[in-house]
Amino acid sequence: MSPTQPLAILFDATRCIDCRACMVACSAENNVPMDDTRVWLTGAGVMGTFPDLQRASMPYHCMHCLEPACASACPVGAWTKREDGPVVYDSSRCIGCRYCMNACPFGVPHFDWNMGLLDQPLISKCSMCAHRLDLGEQPACVQTCLTEALRFGPRDQMLAEAKNRIAANPGKYVEHVYGESENGGTSFLILSHVPFEQLGLPQVPEQPVNTLSETVMRGTIPFALGWAVALTAVAGAVRLNQRGQKDPAGPTEIADQDLVAAQPVEEERAP
Amino acid sequence: MTALIAWTQLRRFRPSPAVLILGAFVIIGVIVALIRYAFGIGAISNLNNSYSWGIWISFDLLCGVALGAGAFTMAAIVYILDLKEFRPILRPSILTGFLGYAMVIVALLVDLGRPERIWHMMIYQNGHSVLLEVGVCVMLYTAVLALEFLPVLLERTAWDRPVHILHAITLPLVILGVVLSTLHQSSLGSLFLIMPAKLNPLWYSPLLPVFFFLTAVSVGLAMVILESSASARAFHRGLELQLLSRLARAIPFVLGLYLVLRLGDLAAGGKLGLLLPNRPLAVLLWVELIAGAAIPIVLFSRRDVRQSPRGLLIGALLIIGGVILNRFDVSLFAQQHLGGQGYLPSLGEFAISFGIVSGGILAFAFVAKFFPLFGDEEHRPVVVDQ
C-alpha cells in the first residue's frame, strides 16, 4: 500500500466480549493511567433475561473524521488530519480552551482537569497510535484484540469488508456502517447488531458539522472591510449634511473636540 | 499636583460597607484562583468532560462581552452619527465597556487550561476557527477601549500630549472599534454554528451571528440606561433623562428586528411546532422572547414609560435578563452534553465570577470618584462626598 493511503479501524460489536484488553493495551502503549485511557467502554452491556441474553459493548474511540471539527475549531491549529487517517495533536500549541471538546460531535477529546499550571494540563484523545503507523505497525488496541472485533487497514477495504459482513449475514447487523457517512465520513467504522444509540453513539448529520462555520469565517474579512467603508461613508455623509445646514448661518459650531471636551488644564499645572 | 490631591483623598478614604463586601469577594476570588492554578480547574469547579464549558463561559465571557456592548454603540452614536448631545453618557459607557472586557479577560485567564500560552493566538492562527476571530477581536478591541478611555485618566495631568494625538485619531479609532465589535459580538453566536447536532433546534440557526449582534446592540443600550441609573443613585447625580429616553426609543427597532428574524427563522425552518410549551426548553424560549424582547418593545414604544426613570430601569432590566438567559440557553441549557456526566456550578466557580464582577464594580467606583468621568462634572474639581 502507498504510504498516504487513508487507513481506518473497523469495529464489529457482535464480536466484542467486553474484555477491555484494548484499554490495557492503550494504557501501556500511550503511557496513560487505566482510569484515563483514550479508549473507554460504552454500550448497554448485557441485555435481556436468561437464556435470551445479548451483549452490546464497544471501545469508544476517536472517530478520526475525514473532516474533523476539532481541527476546524481549534484557534491555534493544534489538531491536524494526517493523510493516512489519524487526527493528531500538537500539544506544544494547545492553550486549553476546550473548544475542540465542544465542537466534536462525538464527545471524544478529554481534558486533564486535575492538573495545575506546573503539571501542564492538556487535551487527550486517541491518536490511532500514529507513532506505530509510522513504523508500519497496527494501533495497539487492534493488535491486542482477542476476537478480531477490531480490524485495521485501508479505509475502502474496511468499508467493503463491513458491507460484505452485512450482506453475508442477513438479519445479524443493523444495515448501516456507522462512520461511512457520519460527519462526512470517519476513519473508525462500526458494525452493530443493536441500534447505534445503545452503543453510546450519537446521531450526527452527514454534512460535516464545521461546514457552516467555515463558510461564515470565509466571509469575515470581506465583511469587515465593507463595514468599515460603510461606517466611514456614514460618518462623512453626516458631517457633510451638517455643514450644508450650518453654512448659511456662518461657522457657529465649535471645532470638534472628539472623545473629551478639551480641558483647560493650565491653571492646574500652576504650583 | 493631581496625584497629591488624590493621595490625600485616599488617606482620608473610609471604605463603606458595600466597598468592604465587594473587596471581600475579590479576595475570596483571588484565593480560589490560586487554588485553581496550583491544583487544576477540577479542584475548584464541577467542569468535566461532558460539560467542558460552564458558567465562566456562559456568564463571564458571553454575557460579559454582550453587556459591554454599550461602549461601541455609544461611540458610534456620538462619533459616527455625530450626535454630540449624547456626550455626557459616553465616558461612563466606555469605562463600563473597558472594565467589562478586562473582566472577560481575567475570567479567561482562569478558565483557559494553559493561560500562560494565550499569546499563541497571535502566532499560531487557524483561519477556520471562529474562536480565533473572537480572541483576536476581543484583544484588539480591549486595546481600542483603553485608548478611547485614556484621555479621561490623563487630561488632568500635565502630560496631555497623548490626549491631543488621541483626539486627532478619534474617528478612525471609533470606526475600528465598531468593526471589531460587530465581528466578535456576532462571532460569539457563530461559535455555536459548529454544533448543529448538539444545540437544540429552537436555538440552532444559521442566523446565530445576526441574533447575537442585534441582542448585543439592544442590551448595550439597556446597560447604558442601567449604568446611568445606578450612577445617579450612587454618586447623587442628576439622571440624564432626556438622553436616556431618546436611546430607549431606538430599542424597539433593534429588538423588533431581532424578534421578527427570530420568529421568521423558526417558521422558515419548520420549527414552530417545537414552540409548544410542553417542554422546559420551549418555556425558556418563551421567557426569552416575551419577557426579554416583546414586553420591552411594548414598554419602550410608550412615551410615558420612556420619560419615567422607573419605567426606563424596568425595561432595561428585562432586556438584560433576557439576553443573559439567551446566552445561558445557547451555551449551556439547550446543549446536548455527550458522555453522561452532569454539571452544577460549584461554589468555587461562583467565587471566581463574583470576585471578578466585584472587582469591576470597585474599579468603576474608583474611577468615578477620582477622575472626570461624568460630562456634567467636567469643570468641577474633584470632591469626595463624605
Q: What is the pLDDT of residues A180-202, one digit of tens each?
A: 999 999 999 999 999 999 998 99
> What's the pLDDT at A250?
43
Q: Does A98 touch chain B (CB under 8 A)?
A: yes
In the predicted structure, residue A141 carries a pLDDT above the cut 60: yes
Domain assignment present for residue B386? The answer is: no
> What's the pLDDT at B377?
43
Residue A263, all three cell numbers: 480641558
> What's the pLDDT at B260?
97
Domain assignment present for residue B36? The answer is: yes
> What's the pLDDT at B234?
81
Q: Concatenate the DSSP letters of all residues of B58-69 into one string.
A: IIIIIIHHHHTT
From the list A74, A106, A260, which residue is nearest B129 (CB)?
A: A74
Distance CA B384, CA B9 (A): 7
Residue A107, all three cell numbers: 464527545
Q: CA dist B86 to B74, B93, B145, B376, Å?
A: 8, 11, 18, 12
Chain B window 142-181: which residues touch A at a Cβ cutoff of 8 Å?
Answer: 148, 151-152, 155-158, 160, 163, 166-167, 170-171, 175-176, 178-179
How many helices and strands (H and E) does chain B possess?
A: 18, 0
Helix (H, G, I), strand (E, B) or coil at B169: coil
> What's the pLDDT at A257?
41
Domain assignment present for residue B385? The answer is: no
- Which positions ≥6 away from B369 have C-beta within 8 Å? B382, B384
Task: Note the pTM of the prediction, 2 decimals.
Answer: 0.89
How many Cβ pairs within 8 Å bridge chains A and B? 223
Burial class (CB in 10 A: 0-12, 13-18, 19+), B369: middle
In the predicted structure, residue A258 carries a pLDDT above the cut 70: no
- Give A241's contacts in chain B (Cβ within 8 Å): none
Q: Quickly count: other Cβ atoms within 10 Å of residue A249's Cβ.
A: 8
Domain assignment present for residue B5? The answer is: no
3-state secondary structure A178-223: ECCCHHHCECEEEECCCCHHHHCCCCCCCCCCCHHHHHHHHCHHHH
In the predicted structure, residue A109 carries a pLDDT above the cut 90: yes
Domain assignment present for residue B281? The answer is: yes
> What's the pLDDT at B6?
61
> What's the pLDDT at B262?
97
Fill in the DSSP letter of residue A92.
Answer: T
Which of A114-128, A227-241, B26-40, B162-176 has the least mean pLDDT?
B162-176
Fill in the DSSP letter of residue B149.
Answer: H
Q: In Å, how far is B304's CA from the nearest CA of chain A?
A: 30
Number of domains making up chain B: 1
> What's the pLDDT at B77?
95
Alpha-carbon radius of gyration of chain A = 29
Residue in chain A closest to B206 (alpha carbons) equals: A212
Burial class (CB in 10 A: 0-12, 13-18, 19+), B223: buried
Between the ranges A162-166, A252-256, B339-343, where is the mean pLDDT highest? Answer: A162-166
Domain assignment present for residue B180? The answer is: yes
- Which positions ≥6 away from B192 have C-beta within 8 Å? B199, B203, B204, B208, B330, B331
Q: In Å, how far is B17's CA from the nearest CA of chain A?
A: 33
From the list B155, B175, B195, which residue is nearest A232 (CB)?
A: B175
CATH number at residue B79: 1.20.1630.10
Between A252 and B153, residue with greater pLDDT: B153
> What's the pLDDT at A259?
39
Q: Is the dihedral of CA A108, A113, A119, A121 positive or negative?
A: positive
Low-confidence ranges of chain B (pLDDT < 50): 376-386
Q: In Å, how far is B14's CA from the nearest CA of chain A?
A: 26
How many helices and strands (H and E) does chain A possess?
A: 9, 9
Q: Does A72 touch chain B (CB under 8 A)?
A: yes
pLDDT digits (tens, 9 = 90+) for A40-93: 778 777 887 887 778 888 888 899 999 999 999 999 999 999 999 999 999 999
In the predicted structure, residue A119 carries a pLDDT above the cut 70: yes
Between A2 and A118, residue with greater pLDDT: A118
Do residues A16 and A147 make contact, with C-beta atoms less than 8 angstroms apart? yes
Q: Does B39 touch chain A (CB under 8 A)?
A: yes
Domain assignment present for residue B376? The answer is: no
Residue A136, all three cell numbers: 508500519
Q: A260, B121: Cβ pair inside 8 Å?
A: no
Residue in chain B closest to A215 (alpha carbons) equals: B128
Q: A231, B125: Cβ pair inside 8 Å?
A: no
In the predicted structure, residue A262 carries a pLDDT above the cut 80: no
Distance CA A126, CA A115 (A): 20
Within a 13 Å sphere around the CA of B163, how many CA atoms are in the beta-carbon half?
A: 18
The beta-strand segments (E) located in chain A are 7-12, 40-47, 54-60, 79-81, 87-89, 110-111, 123-124, 150-154, 188-191
Q: Residue A159 carries which side chain, given as an amino acid letter?
A: L
Chain A window 133-192: which residues touch B at a Cβ cutoff of 8 Å?
Answer: none
Q: Is the dihedral of CA A171, A172, A174, A176 positive or negative?
A: negative
In the predicted structure, residue A111 carries a pLDDT above the cut 70: yes
Q: B49, A111: Cβ pair inside 8 Å?
A: yes
- Which positions ≥6 away from B365 have C-beta within 8 Å? B19, B234
Residue span of the structural domain in which B181 resides: 18-336+347-369
Q: In Å, how far is A137's CA from the nearest CA of chain B?
A: 30
Do residues B267 and B222 make contact, with C-beta atoms less than 8 angstroms apart? no
- Whether the ipTM is more than 0.95: the answer is no
- Which positions ≥6 away from B134 have C-beta within 8 Å? B184, B187, B188, B191
The verdict on whether omega for the bond into residue A51 sits within 30 degrees of 0, i.e. cis, is yes
Domain assignment present for residue B384? The answer is: no
Fill in the DSSP letter of residue A250.
Answer: -
> What's the pLDDT at B375?
56
> What's the pLDDT at A88?
96
